[in-house]
Structure 1
Amino acid sequence: MRGFGGQGGVSFDIFGNFGKRQFHERGDDLVASVDLDFMESVHGCKKSISYRALLTCSNCSGTGARPGTKPEKCSPCRGTGQQMMSSGFMNVISTCSRCGGTGEVVKDPCTTCKGRGLKPESTTVEVDIPAGVESGLQLQIRNRGHAGPSSAPRGNLILQLNVKESETFKRIGNNVHVDVDISLSQACLGGVARVPSLYGDVELKEHNLAIE
């Protein structure tokens, strides 16, 4: 039970109002894992994400019924998608167990989706990964998850980012650290050392290397 009057939940109607539901549940969210190289996470990149999602069946246009036929009105709830029982002075309204709240039942199911109205298909989406992301971060792509029933909107695609460690750099919070080997004479007298950075090598000279 999700709550009072919520999707798929139970509501209490003390005034006896009982009619067809006016909402459509959206499709389920879908989670996909995305691997990034360290430099891709630093500068941002574009990724092509391929995954499988439940999409509207093209054979029956999502009705779940064999082409040429239509779903029929559910008899137990009379097409309302809800059932009502009296409990004292209250009317207890719950989702119809026969049709699952759709108000319709499929007597002659589509052979492609077996009456579900949805079928798994491979799909691809181009995603812009912003600069500065780190492992564990999630990106939400709206309306790219599983399709919803009937005319309901699709769910969302949740991207779980996994950033590979770099052999050169180490990220600590918002800072990036790098280790550079220098000679004893450079450390004592100063000199020039080539240091890798996120935007190419840079040179550190003289007092930058001297021991204080």
Structure 2
Amino acid sequence: MFGNKGANLPFKIADIALSIKIRKIKRTKDRLITYISLYRRMNMMRYICLSLISMAVLSGGCLNRKHAGALNEKTVEPGAPRPLEAHLGLAAKTFKKDSVLLSFTVYNHADTASRFCKWETPFEPHLGKYLEVKDEQGNEAAFKGAMARRVMPPPPESYISIPPHDSVKTVFNVARNYSLAKGRYTISYTGEGVSGLKGANDIRVEVTD
């Protein structure tokens, strides 16, 4: 009898070891399932948070646009003149390749004094590219003027003040900053991004030899 027990002992030990391994494998599997479940929950929570943030940003942008639109509707009447308005005009009767004289006038329609930055305007005639000059085919004339390096914000001396219901005017030569040939050109003011002056008209000139 003892001999039989001794013979079965290795099998019992093997069974016990196998049982222990099976329990370890089961615990490892349970832990893995738990980790996977937690990972999925974290990803779901992350997705929900990102969705809520996106909705909040979009809602805020819509509210800001609505508020800005309502404010503009209240403060700007259709057809009303702007407080400051720029105007291009002819300063000569004939134009040559080296002489295209134009005037640049800024009107203050407000009841109080207003000012604008003279950077990127003909009030600094030889600095900056503030015009678009195109021929009849839509080709832009080559710019040969000087580009300025600006320090922001503009210092006080960079501004020109205009009394209420008054204007300031300057005359400048387009041909000094642009290479022109014989032909017709359309000239537009494009420096409003710096100067703040809007509403400038396009003007057409014919350049002769």
**TM-score, normalisation: structure 1:** 0.27
Higher helix share: 2
Higher strand share: 1
> Is the radius of gyration larger for structure 1 or structure 2?
2
**TM-score, normalisation: structure 2:** 0.28
* Larger relative contact order (CA 8 Å, sep ≥ 6): 1
